[in-house]
Structure 1
Amino acid sequence: MIGVGSNDLNITDEQSVIQFVSEMKPEAIIHCVAYTAVDKAEDDKENCWNFNVNGTKNLANAAKAVNAKFMYISTDYVFDGLGEDPFVETDATNPVGYYGLTKLEGEKVVQSLLSEWFIVRISWVFGLNGNNFVKTMLRLAETRDQLSVVGDQVGSSTNTFDLSRLLLDMIQTNRYGTYHATNEGLCSWSEFAKEILRLSEKSVVVNSITTEEYPTKAVRPKNSRLSQQKLIVNGFESLPKWQDSLGQYLNALKHEVK
């Protein structure tokens, strides 16, 4: 298994991608690259499109050339976030921000270029590497005794450790298609924050506020609920409950700190 970073390959450079993949001759490509700065994307549209659409096109074409399986990681932002029912894979897409639009276009590129593919939509991602909501809450808790967190956006978190195991299981099958994959259970951002601080034994008060009280450049979906029923139907193991997964993550994070 080869982990490829931005220093190894610029996916927006078509020739570089073709050469890199033709030399590696992988059996499968799990395409995790994305421009994910959702607010910045509203102004930085060219770069966002370049990575999320053109980059995806380059990788899909390269995969096709070497007959490699292809998996594209997508997002809940392809939906409009309306209603209260969990979105299923066949629900109509309707992104309300530029980031979501480019991720949806990436899905379409994959479907148009390849006859067989995996598209896996995830949400509220956190892992040991990079910045995420969990790390932000822990950092803020160091200097504050109260935090205001949005309470009317509901979804489920996705622990990269749990997700990666599923993706590796999935890529070894021929059960192609579009899937939703998040940790089991639902919560709001404020409920998520409270659990982070409770498990971390931080005596910080979390005040639940509305989306309107915390304006952002890009619209955030109020409904990020994703149904994982298709995973179960197709014989894949669902991800652990978000509370259990969060606990394991916080424990791993503690041991990562030097």
Structure 2
Amino acid sequence: MKILITGCNGQLGNELQNITKSGKAEIDEVSENIRKSEVIALDVDKLDITNLTQVKEILNDVRPDVVINCAAATNVDGCEGNKDFAFRVNSIGPRNLAIICEEIGAKLVQVSTDYVFSGDSNKPLTEYDLTAPYSVYGKTKLLGEQYVQQFCLKYFIVRTAWLYGYIGKNFVYTMMRLGKEKDIIKVVDDQRGSPTHANDLAYHILKLIETEEYGIYHCTGKGECTWHEFAKMIIELCGEKCEVKPCTSEEYITPAKRPEYSSLDNMMLRSTVGDEMRDWKEAIKSFIEKVMKGDSHQEGVE
């Protein structure tokens, strides 16, 4: 199998490369077919997904069996201030990949987000629940999903949430840093969701691409918490003395409105290839242990 990864230098792209290279994720080993796969990992300097001509040229040259699109404009507040950029990357980019994947017969994995929902629910959201995003980020990601469905038959749309991985910037690393620098930090306690380890997400994506179980998937850590509860556990696991105080979203104003409730139910995974996602508490404990031991394979991708 030939797998092309776009946006390969991000949290998820890094995990996909490490797992295919080592043959194992933290949950379990991957199949022999995945271990023997040829992986072509490209970031924006080699493949700009917003350029249809470039997408056509590279995909026709590489002829991948599967394209996993990890490229995205993920700065939620930044998307509010630069709508055109968010639209090009999150909507036009997936459209371009879908058009050419359909032409060459490749499967397409489009990574999406809990922000496609309004956040007005009070129970875990399934794949059949209605989308209604508030933010530019959520709206452009939803349009990207729709373009993929419109232009490509063999697609997996995988929605995730509160993602953290061993490289790059994320909430976990921010809390670890602030825990060392501050005596007190404030974190919102009126937004609930499901923290997700990028290694676990990558493992399930690699399970999916071996199948023809096409459709929309939710793939997040099991259980749910508030950002305050998540931060508190991170600080405790690091052994820091920093006090984590709760605050409201009104006290911590951001340009983009966040969903108040965006916990996702992995119903489609359970119904097809199986949901092996770890509980969010187990996953974050494993993550921090590895980071603090220096055993996080951050250097694994050359």
Per mean C-alpha deviation after superposition, the further-off stretch among 174-183 and 244-253 is: 244-253
- Relative to the length of structure 2, the TM-score reads 0.83
- Unaligned 5+ residue runs, structure 1? none
SS in 2 for 1:220: coil
Q: CA deviation at 1:172?
A: 0.6
Q: Count how many residue pairs are aligned between Structure 1 and Structure 2.
A: 258
SS in 1 for 2:200: helix
- Relative to the length of structure 1, the TM-score reads 0.97
Q: Please give the alpha-carbon distance, in whole angstroms, between the structure 2 residues aligned to 1:54 and 1:230.
A: 26
Counterpart residue number, 1:42? 80
Counterpart residue number, 1:107? 145
Q: CA deviation at 1:3?
A: 1.6
Q: Please give the alpha-carbon distance, in whole angstroms, between the structure 2 residues aligned to 1:237 and 1:155.
A: 18
Q: Please give the alpha-carbon distance, in whole angstroms, between the structure 2 residues aligned to 1:130 and 1:235.
A: 29
**1:83–1:237 CA distance, 2 compared to 1 (3 A):** closer
Choose the corresponding residue for 1:123, options 161, 172, 182.
161
Equivalent residues of 2:266, 2:275 under 8 A apart: no
Q: Please give the alpha-carbon distance, in whole angstroms, between the structure 1 residues aligned to 2:174 and 2:83.
A: 26
Counterpart residue number, 1:138? 176
SS in 1 for 2:90: helix
Counterpart residue number, 1:79? 117
Q: CA deviation at 1:58?
A: 1.0
Q: Please give the alpha-carbon distance, in whole angstroms, between the structure 2 residues aligned to 1:82 and 1:10.
A: 35
Q: CA deviation at 1:237?
A: 2.9
Q: Please give the alpha-carbon distance, in whole angstroms, between the structure 2 residues aligned to 1:199 and 1:9.
A: 39
Counterpart residue number, 2:43? 5
Q: Please give the alpha-carbon distance, in whole angstroms, between the structure 2 residues aligned to 1:82 and 1:142.
A: 35
Q: Please give the alpha-carbon distance, in whole angstroms, between the structure 2 residues aligned to 1:68 and 1:147.
A: 47
Q: Please give the alpha-carbon distance, in whole angstroms, between the structure 2 residues aligned to 1:50 and 1:153.
A: 28
Q: CA deviation at 1:238?
A: 2.6
Q: Please give the alpha-carbon distance, in whole angstroms, between the structure 2 residues aligned to 1:16 and 1:162.
A: 31
Find out whether 1:200 has 2:225 as its counterpart: no
- Unaligned 5+ residue runs, structure 2? 1-38
1:116-195 aligned at under 5 Å gives the runs 116-195=154-233
**AA matched with 1:163:** L
SS in 2 for 1:100: helix
Find out whether 1:244 has 2:250 as its counterpart: no
Equivalent residues of 1:183, 1:238 under 8 A apart: no
**AA matched with 1:63:** C
Counterpart residue number, 1:231? 269
Q: Please give the alpha-carbon distance, in whole angstroms, between the structure 1 residues aligned to 2:129 and 2:232.
A: 31
Q: Please give the alpha-carbon distance, in whole angstroms, between the structure 2 residues aligned to 1:212 and 1:60.
A: 39
Q: CA RMSD in A?
A: 1.3
Per mean C-alpha deviation after superposition, the further-off stretch among 113-122 and 213-222 is: 113-122
Percent identity reads: 37
Counterpart residue number, 1:19? 57
Q: CA deviation at 1:112?
A: 0.5
Q: Deviations over 1:47-100 (max 9, x none)?
A: 110111111111111211211011100000000000211111111110001110
Counterpart residue number, 2:29? none
Q: Deviations over 1:227-246 (max 9, x none)?
A: 11221121323311111111
Counterpart residue number, 2:97? 59
Choose the corresponding residue for 1:94, options 109, 123, 132.
132
SS in 2 for 1:136: helix
